[in-house]
Amino acid sequence: MTQIISGKEISEEIRAELKEQVATLKAGTGVVPGLAVVLVGADPASEMYVGMKNKAAKELGIHSRQISLPAETPEDELLGVIDGLNADPAIHGILVQLPLPGHIDEAKVIEAIDPMKDVDGFHPVSVGRLQTGSGECFAPCTPAGVIEMLVRSGHDPAGKHAVVVGRSNIVGKPMAALLMRKGRGGDATVTVAHSRTADLGAVTRSADILIVAMGRPEMITGDMVSEGTVVIDVGTNRVDDPTRERGYRVCGDVLFDEVKDKAAAISPVPGGVGPMTITMLLANTVRSAEIASDRAG
């Protein structure tokens, strides 16, 4: 029988561990991990996501600060807010919710965040350290969550051939780096495929572990997967469905009903990778607080 890898269950397991870590840190050093989330504008999806982050942080005993700015906020003012958070010892993680209004340079904003408070893992220093394995850094939350799903469900990538479909800076590239690095969750042989890959099916059929993050609904079909493959579907897509009351359904990048019959294990959408992203953001924040406490001590 195919194993269903539940991101929801693994997320709950990690959050229970984090709650204990937060309590231990507070009791031993008096340090309370602090996460600041900066929201520019009033995008409903962003507001909902930020609300989920704040709620999850508070449940774990993490101090959560939300800074909401109007959409017309000048870039210099936003950079000033980030400078203030960089200098605040009570804040260990800084997250600027993307996307930002068009008049603000996202790259400049990301680069303004102290790399040791870059719990999203998007700063160029974080990216470089992840690639080279040198220095303390925080991995982007979604690929870090995928690693936890694999390891905790009994599918250690070490020695396996992992195929990553997708080459984005947020998922595909850091996913490959995490799978290749030495140590827990790594030591895999990695192939990165993408929309321009010739005969994509031949590449995906070669995988022991297949991680799909293309943003294309149900593009990986049953004939593109070999028997016994472990499949992690990172995609979250909304497709029209007149048979549903709301007029659409949510699906991944993998055609679940076909692929699950061949896979040894597979993550569903929803309920797979999605719940892991916020959890890994909180894990990065707690780790940042622990590092800051060690340096202060």
Q: What is the pLDDT of residues 39-93, one digit of tens each?
A: 999 888 888 888 899 999 999 999 999 999 999 999 999 999 999 999 999 999 9
0.85 cut: is pTM over it? yes
Q: Which of 144-153, 242-251, 286-295 bottoms out in mean pLDDT, i.e. has the lowest?
A: 242-251
pLDDT digits (tens, 9 = 90+) for 169-198: 999 999 999 999 999 999 999 999 999 999
Q: Identify the pLDDT of residue 46.
A: 82
Sheet holding 93-96, edge to edge: 63-69, 34-40, 93-96
Per-residue pLDDT tens over the stretch 29-40: 999 999 999 999
Q: Residue range 288-294: average pLDDT?
A: 94
Question: For 182-240, what is each residue's pLDDT tens digit?
Answer: 999 999 999 999 999 999 999 999 999 999 999 999 999 999 999 999 999 999 998 98
User: Which pLDDT belongs to residue 112?
Assistant: 98
Confidence of residue 113 (pLDDT cuts 50, 70, 90): very high
pLDDT band at residue 297 using 50, 70 and 90 as cut-offs:
low
Do 225 and 245 form a contact (C-beta atoms < 8 A)? Answer: no
Q: Is 19 a catalytic residue?
A: no
Question: pLDDT per residue over 124-177, tens digit each?
Answer: 999 999 999 888 889 999 999 999 999 999 999 999 999 999 999 999 999 999
Catalytic residue list contains 97: yes
Predicted local confidence at residue 188, as pLDDT? 98
From 53, 117, 173, 260, active-site residue: 53
Is-catalytic flag, 53? yes
Domains and CATH numbers, the chain: 29-117 (3.40.50.10860), 141-274 (3.40.50.720)
Confidence bin at 27 (pLDDT 50/70/90): very high
Q: Which of 8, 26, 55, 97 is catalytic?
A: 97
* 3-class SS string, the chain: CCEECCHHHHHHHHHHHHHHHHHHHHHHHCCCCEEEEEEECCCHHHHHHHHHHHHHHHHCCCEEEEEEECCCCCHHHHHHHHHHHHHCCCCCEEEECCCCCCCCCHHHHHHHCCHHHCCCCCCHHHHHHHHHCCCCCCCCHHHHHHHHHHHHCCCCCCCCEEEEECCCCCCHHHHHHHHHCCCCCCCCEEEEECCCCCCHHHHHCCCCEEEECCCCCCCECHHHCCCCCEEEECCCEEEECCCCCCCEEEECCECHHHHCCCCCEECCCCCCCHHHHHHHHHHHHHHHHHHHHHHHC
Residue 280 clears pLDDT 80, i.e. is over it: yes
* In the predicted structure, residue 288 carries a pLDDT above the cut 70: yes
Catalytic: which of 118, 120, 208, 233?
120
